[in-house]
């Protein structure tokens, strides 16, 4: 074990030679001239990618294309999403809180008492104006390839929401290969330009990330001779479960994870400190206590269990590397066609790592979940809570909770025609809600207010990053800003450095509102509720105002 741990640290140290520390906000930057030509816009979203998975964020997974993007642009170390996928996508596309946009709860998890209520339609509602619609109306070509998850009907799919060309998975997940066991009830819907596709019509070599990339490049190529700028949205389903990858990627990380959860996690956190992603005195979240057969520690696993756990993470890492390779294909296409320099590029994950215990489809569905078959088209696995704690490092918990590990995601942005002499990071709070106004700011388009083309809309509520990106401000929001969220009964509210959180799952919290000072404890290791009862009350008022402003209703299962 010691040998493997040293080998891993050596690999990370070598990786560090190619990435300068990014904590310094004063590195020299050439601000692009955007007055002459509107920029192209490329938005890339990963699915359930954890904060520490990328090399640029301290991970051991090989992600050279995204790491290079980070050296060209800027990392946001305090970027936040909604706790799960479709609420985040609703916030991205509409620029408003997901309760206003129609995804007050995920459609798959919508309780009967909320179904159909305003804000709980389960799809992107008519009070939401799509960023693609606004850009299309301002002479942009608009493309999406990948996961939509914001509506299943012709009126609510991507084609109806402003995308000129679209290849989309309407569901929240699917198998990543075309092949599926005959006994498996594959409830997945793909569309192209609004028309449903029979899965049997997909090419036999279909692998989700590869094919989504193929389609997006095809769309870009179809309009390359146009004088119009483009907005392209690469909405990958990797590395969302089931964890599957092409054979060559399944084999690339053999043995790397045999040293277990803690050794990998500690190495990632150490690397994050070296890179300046987190301060050197950062206190990382503690792994949650073992509870019987749930949340076993590495030492509590037997030999066979350790082998299966390590293999799952090997395949997960292969999925991430494959995604990075495909992102590199898009970059290569843009460079080959002289489009890269004038492209505003965003990369984010849609939420934190997935730590839920997913009930596997087994032999009754035709899957072979043996150790030798993990990651193949006939397998159905997830990484589970302990690897999710690694993926979310250094933060607490994971997707679909009220913790920092649910909503803190990796984010990278590169401006068009930008030259940066050394890598930089920005450390103030940023939100997925900010993408909408930032894109329109760089496209020189006034954000819609209250109404759009004759219909009443919810006004986008985020902050443009442009002043920060062009070194005109040091923070994105005012010093004592407020920000709150709720999903599936998990709730949180923030004012400045202070945060309260209430976990819906009693196994993951105290069952009461907890209080944290994020300036000194972003790892959420010290609950200060008993010491500062007045601060709890202040933040409860912030949360209550949020529920009023965003029509948040009580979620009951």
Q: How far is CA 361 from CA 175, 185, 309, 366, in A?
A: 12, 10, 17, 8
What is the CB-side half-sphere exposure of residue 542 using CA atoms within 13 A?
23
Cβ-based neighbour number of residue 298 at 10 Å = 17
Strands 424-426 and 74-76: parallel
Residue 201 CA to its chain's centroid (Å): 29
Alpha-carbon torsion angle 287, 259, 249, 146, nearest 10: 0
Q: Which residue has the tokens 């390839």?
A: 145
Q: Where are the beta strands (DSSP E) in 49-180?
A: 74-76, 79-80, 141-147, 165-169
- Say if residue 211 is exposed, middle or buried (CB neighbours under 10 Å; 0-12, 13-18, 19+): buried
Whether the Cβ atoms of residue 339 and residue 258 lie closer than 8 Å to each other: no
Question: Which of 99, 149, 159, 381 is labelled catalytic?
Answer: 149
| Whole-angstrom distance, CA of residue 49 vs CA of residue 429 | 19
149 catalytic per annotation: yes
Q: SS3 for 218? A: helix
Q: Could you tell me the end-to-end alpha-carbon distance of the chain, in angstroms, rounded to an integer?
A: 44
| Whole-angstrom distance, CA of residue 397 vs CA of residue 394 | 10
Closest by alpha carbon to 257, among 246, 267, 247?
Answer: 267
Please give the helix or strand (H or E) that residue 468 lies within, else none.
helix 466-469
Catalytic residue numbers, as ranges? 85, 149
């Amino acid at each position: 074990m010691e040998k493997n741990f040293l080998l891993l640290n050596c690999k990370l140290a070598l990786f560090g030679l190619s990435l300068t520390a990014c904590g310094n906000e004063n590195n020299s930057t050439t601000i692009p001239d955007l007055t002459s030509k509107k920029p192209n816009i490329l938005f890339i979203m990963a699915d359930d990618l954890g904060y520490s998975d990328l090399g640029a964020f301290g991970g051991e997974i090989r992600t050279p294309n995204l790491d290079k993007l980070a050296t060209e642009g800027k990392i946001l170390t305090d970027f936040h999403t909604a706790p799960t996928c479709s609420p985040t996508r609703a916030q991205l596309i509409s620029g408003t809180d997901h309760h206003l946009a129609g995804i007050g709860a995920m459609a798959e998890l919508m309780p009967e008492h909320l179904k159909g209520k305003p804000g709980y339609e389960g799809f992107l509602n008519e009070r939401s104006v799509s960023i693609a619609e606004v850009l299309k109306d301002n002479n942009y070509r608009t493309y999406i390839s990948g996961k939509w998850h914001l509506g299943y009907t012709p009126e609510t799919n991507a084609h109806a929401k402003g995308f000129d060309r679209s290849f989309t998975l309407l569901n929240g997940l699917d198998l990543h290969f075309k092949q599926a066991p005959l006994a498996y009830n594959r409830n997945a819907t793909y569309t192209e330009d609004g028309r449903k596709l029979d899965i049997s019509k997909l090419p036999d070599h279909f692998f989700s990330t590869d094919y989504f990339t193929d389609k997006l490049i095809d769309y870009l190529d179809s309009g390359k001779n146009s004088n119009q700028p483009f907005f392209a949205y690469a909405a990958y389903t990797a590395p969302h479960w089931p964890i599957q990858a092409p054979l060559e990627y399944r084999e690339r990380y053999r043995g790397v994870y045999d040293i277990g959860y803690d050794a990998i996690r500690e190495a990632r956190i150490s690397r994050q400190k070296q890179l300046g992603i987190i301060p050197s005195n950062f206190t990382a979240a503690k792994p949650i206590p073992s509870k019987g057969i749930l949340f076993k520690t590495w030492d509590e696993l037997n030999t066979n269990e350790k082998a299966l756990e390590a293999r799952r993470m090997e395949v997960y890492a292969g999925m991430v590397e494959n995604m990075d390779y495909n992102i590199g294909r898009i970059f290569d296409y843009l460079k080959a066609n002289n489009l890269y320099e004038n492209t505003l590029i965003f990369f984010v994950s849609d939420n934190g790592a997935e730590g839920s215990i997913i009930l596997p489809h087994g032999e009754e569905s035709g899957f072979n979940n043996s150790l030798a078959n993990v990651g193949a088209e006939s397998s159905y696995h997830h990484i589970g809570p302990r690897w999710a704690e690694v993926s979310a490092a250094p933060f607490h918990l994971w997707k679909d909770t009220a913790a920092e590990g649910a909503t803190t995601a990796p984010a990278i942005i590169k401006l068009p025609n930008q030259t940066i002499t050394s890598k930089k990071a920005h450390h103030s709070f940023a939100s997925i809600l900010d993408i909408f106004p930032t894109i329109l700011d760089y496209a020189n388009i006034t954000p819609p207010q209250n109404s759009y083309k004759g219909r009443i809309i919810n006004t986008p509520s985020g902050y443009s990053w442009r002043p920060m990106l062009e070194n005109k401000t040091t923070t994105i929001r005012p010093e004592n800003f407020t920000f709150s969220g709720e999903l599936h009964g998990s709730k949180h509210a923030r004012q400045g450095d202070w945060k309260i959180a209430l976990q819906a799952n009693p196994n993951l919290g105290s069952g009461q509102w907890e209080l944290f000072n994020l300036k000194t404890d972003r790892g959420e290791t010290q609950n200060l509720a008993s010491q500062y009862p007045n601060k709890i009350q202040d933040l409860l008022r912030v949360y209550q105002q949020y529920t009023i402003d965003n029509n948040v209703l009580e979620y009951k299962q």
